[in-house]
Structure 1
Amino acid sequence: MFSVASVSVTVAILTFRRPGEVSEGLPMILDQVQQINSRPGHRADVLVVDNDPEGSARSAVSAFGSPIVRYCVEPRPGISAARNRAIDESAGSRLLAYIDDDERPEPGWLSQLLDVWAPTEPAAVSGRVIPEYERPPEPWIVAGRFFERRSLPTGTELDVAAAGNLLIDLQQVRAFGLRFDDRYGLAGGEDTLFSRALFAKGGRMLWCNESVVVDKVPAARMNREWVLRRAWSHGNTTGLIALDLTAGRARRSVRRVELAVGGLARVAVGSARSTFGRVNGSARHQARGQRLARRGGGMAAAAVGHVYQEYRRDG
């Protein structure tokens, strides 16, 4: 374990109308925060950001009665607003660790993030996310390996990171003037844009393979329709982010053409791969081909300005 003389960290749990998940996960997070507080010179606390204007998680948090747990309601809809509220509410901390309400930290999750950050103080440290299925997945899901995330050697330099298991250095983030973009609050991809912008401004991001959270995959997501809809959404946000990171009207026009051509090429290649899989009896080729085709469709849609709001709220 490597430690610096003094460090303060806030763990932000982002939630929306899932008080039961908060009640289940908060004790595990509290345990790890208390372990950090036992280190000399370290201070850690927990912040629950409730994106439900009605404050549905308030009683779940209050039930713990812990002095190191804070609660706030962010009424503006969207994950970007909740992430930015966590940044604002953590003004007294050097570091901010994000975890979702349906994720469960494995032992050592937080300490591993801090230990990778401490020696060189990068702008961010990203950890591993592994799936836990509510029920056994169907063969199509298994063949496509759709819920499996990356695993890299600890210390690997990154140019993009997801925020489901992410530690950020608030001092550097504020110096770069970065926020999560509200336009992606209901579409998703806000963490991709944020981390790419952080990297573009010179912020170093490192991987920590020993920091692990378990992502609970509900049965409602374990089907072909949901996976392919998510593929379209990811393709769409990938295209929109590429446009946002392209400066100048002329260059953006070129990028739109590239996205349209690239997206349609993925549709063609994905469809061909899926057909090949059906002919040869390969479930993996069928599944991966179908997802690639949908992702390409989302990219092509972004080229003409379509924005798919995956997390749109109807009420």
Structure 2
Amino acid sequence: MKLGELAAMVDTTVQPGRARPLKQKFCEMPFTGVGVRDVLRYLDMRTVNDPFTYIVTPNVDHVVRNWRDKGELVEIYEDAELSLCDSRIVSLIGRFSGVSLPVVTGSDLTAILLEYTIDPQERITIIGGSAEVVAKLARRYGLRDIRHHNPPMGFIRDPAAVMEAAQFVERNPSRFVFLAVGSPQQEILARAIKHRGQATGIGLCVGASLLFLTGNLQRAPLWMQRAKLEWLHRLAQEPRRMWRRYLYDAPKILRIAADHQREQRVLVSVIVPTDRHEELLPRLIERCGAQTGFNADAIEIVFVDYSAEGSARAIVERHATRSRVRIRYLHSRGIGMVRARNLAATEAKGEFLAFITECTLPTPSWLEAMLKVHRIYDADVVLGPVEPVFETEPASYGSHYRRAFAYRSDATTGTALEPRRPLQFTGGGSFVPFATRNAMMLKANYAAMSSAGSDDSVFLARLLRSGKRLVWCAEATVEEQIPAGQLRPMVLLRRVFRQSQLTAGTAMADPPSYGDLLGWIGIGLLQTAAGSARALLWPISRERGMSGLHSLAAGLGKLAFLGGSHARKPVPAVIVEPPAPQPDPVAAPGKETVILETFKSGPSRVSRRWWRRRAPTAA
């Protein structure tokens, strides 16, 4: 039986719960990019009663084995709480590839825990190692309560022996469980224990670390570790056992890294439609480039400029050479924001599409939080809040402006959202119509919107009714910059009208819900009547008068529901014909050249298209 088949015997259903730190793949192996201080801080918070999970420490041998076995066991590393880089060689290769992989070796982590974290009176559980090794360990660190089980050689191929080891851990609950039966046996066992769901504590897959601590094996001197020659010391100690690992298998890491560099793909494309607000773009580029949990090549920003003159081109190109992420620019005349966004989504290279507006600034963990929710809660679309930040505080009607420009939900992170229904004042629904002002989804899920050209709320309502999951992420906040020119009563009332129109119009999304539509029409009539009466108080009290106009605009928007239910015309087909490669002296080394793509589209077909590069300016 193959090891991959043994691993598959375990039920791998992942239950929603606390988010694990986001992993990034390097050389086809997932790594958690955290240092030893963060790991110790996390372990210090663990208690003996916490549900069992485990930590893996992949090194060169793990990476090469995973590549050779075509990823048979990669899900075990994905399912680990932390996957820490145990190899200075892998970390060095990652640095040359633009991937930050802090080194946290299993041997160092085990030594620190036994020396400083674990109390001598505290119970620990050890799976593997001889009774002699355990006795030496107890004497060195003064440990009083060690529960030890040493499974037979080759136990991982015997389901009964695996079950016996798992049940031993369950019968002896400890805060720390040291799994020292060699790789990949210890990783397979850790996952089996976790998915039985009956054990507590945290498993540490530490390999030969206990042998180093007891003196049965000598670890390389510190200077050899720093010189990344620990492998040579290990080879000299055990040449007959280690020659194949270090002289035949290990060099393959260079080939794997080269393949990774060639095949590295964009994970997230950030779509930003823009129209004459280029002064806000530099800060947006800076914020997107500062996203945590990603290497530089995992993110691209796709600006689609639908202004007539392409006003954002110069600023985007100027900042592209200084940004750590890829930046692309598209210019399309004569189309609105929805069709411009569809065009950008079509041209995007990312597996995921993230949508924000040109006036928003994301928090540093914005994309990381979105992807965590997508992975943990099996979301098709992830939505996040938008908080307005005013250039100048409103002199009057401040609460009305904040309510109109904000995008919030009363739901907690991980809640599956539903469209707001008539008379629903609290619960899972959003307070405003669903929108892609702050959203992430798989590019495949966006295809329907690209073909139908629907407004956001109609598109998302259709996704919901087709069985897709829309999930809220309260931590993925973006701030929308509101210029002083937007703080005018007419702008406010137009915005309220449009939001209410979309709220009622989503009831007509395919398949339509006529009961909801009648409910919204009834509410619209009541709001129109009440708002009209209250608006008459304007000469007496401006605040009460504005509340009345606010209700009136909301009521009229619901009565004009047809304007919020129709689908826009589809985007004309655009065929991209790449030019011959040319050297670009403006582009930074190792960064994709910024291609300025200009499309001119008519109502039914593309009348003209060309590619254009900005000529380098003379020195």
TM-score category, normalised to shorter length:
0.7 to 0.9
1:132 corresponds to 2:407:
no
Contact persistence 2:268–2:353 (CA under 8 A): yes
Measured in 1, the distance between the counterparts of 2:511 and 2:350 equals 33
Partners in 1 of 2:401 and 2:391 — Cα distance? Answer: 18
Residues 32-47 of structure 1 aligned to structure 2 (within 5 Å): 32=291, 35-37=293-295, 43-47=298-302
* Secondary structure, aligned partner of 1:179: helix
Distance in 2 (CA, whole Å) between partners of 1:11 and 1:139 is: 35
Aligned mates of 1:273, 1:195 — CA distance in 2: 34
Residue 193 (1) aligns with residue 458 (2): yes
| Inter-partner Cα distance in structure 1 for 2:389 and 2:413 | 23
Q: For 1:180 and 1:292, how far apart are their aligned partners in 2?
A: 35
Match of 1:264 among 520, 525, 529: 525
Q: Out of 327, 340, 355, which is 1:98 matched to?
A: 355
1:131-154 Cα deviation digits (max 9, x unpaired): 111111123233674233324311
* Structure 2 counterparts to residues 18-37 of structure 1, below 5 A: 18-32=277-291, 35-37=293-295
The answer for the alignment partner of 1:49 in structure 2 is: 304
Q: Which residue of 2 aligns with 1:88?
A: 346
RMSD of aligned residue pairs (Cα, Å): 3.4
- The structure-2 alpha-carbon separation of the partners of 1:213 and 1:150, relative to structure 1 and needing over 3 Å to count, comes to same
Identity %, equivalent residues: 27
Q: What letter matches 1:236 in structure 2?
A: Q
Summarize the Cα distance change of 1:239–1:209 in structure 2 as closer, same or farther, 3 Å threshold: closer
Give the TM-score taking structure 1 as reference length: 0.78
Paired position in structure 2 for 1:296: 555
- Say if 1:288 and 1:3 are closer, same or farther in 2 by CA, change over 3 A: farther
Instruction: Measure, in 1, the Cα distance between the counterparts of 2:478 and 2:529.
Output: 36
From 227, 231, 254, give the equivalent of 2:492: 227
Instruction: Determine helix, strand or coil for the equivalent of 1:242.
Output: helix
Superposition map of 1:181-220 within 5 A: 181-182=452-453, 190-220=455-485
1:243 aligns with 2:508: yes
Partner in structure 2 of residue 122 of structure 1: 379
* Aligned position for 1:187: none
Q: 1:212 to 1:264 in 2, by over 3 A?
A: same
8 A contact 1:97–1:167 mirrored in 2: yes
Seen in structure 2, the aligned counterparts of structure 1 residues 255 and 122 have a Cα distance that, compared at 3 Å, is: closer
CA-to-partner distance for each residue in 1:73-109, whole Å, 9 max, x for gaps?
233411111221122012x422100111111112211
Give CA deviations for 1:178-226 in whole Å, capped at 9, x if unaligned.
Answer: 43754x6xxxxx1111111111111101111111111111112213222
Unaligned runs of 5+ in 2: 1-20, 31-265, 420-433, 569-619
Pairing 1:167–2:440 present:
yes
Q: How many residues align?
A: 289
Q: Give the whole-Å Cα distance in 2 for the aligned partners of 1:306 and 1:276.
A: 33
- C-alpha distance in 1 between matches for 2:565 and 2:303: 33
2:342 corresponds to 1:77: no
1:313 maps to what in 2? none
Corresponding residue for residue 312 of structure 1: none
* 1:26-62 superposed Cα distances (whole Å, 9 cap, x missing partner): 12112227x5126xxx822211111124322111111
Three-state SS of the structure 1 residue aligned to 2:267 is: strand
Between the aligned partners of 1:155 and 1:304, the Cα distance in structure 2 is 32
Cα shift readout 1:148-176 (whole Å, capped 9, x = no counterpart): 332431112112532111101123344xx
- Tell me how far apart the structure 2 counterparts of residues 206 and 24 of structure 1 sit (CA, whole Å): 28
Q: Deviation of residue 126 (structure 1)?
A: 0.8
> Quick check: which one's strand share is greater?
1
Counterpart in the other structure of 2:99 = none
The 1:178–1:127 alpha-carbon spacing in structure 2 relative to 1, beyond 3 Å, is same
Gaps of 5+ in 1: 185-189, 310-315
Amino acid at match of 2:331: V
| Closer, same or farther: CA 265–297 of 1 in aligned 2, 3 Å | same
**Match for 1:8 among 267, 272, 283?**
267
Does the CA contact (< 8 Å) of 1:144 and 1:288 recur in 2? no
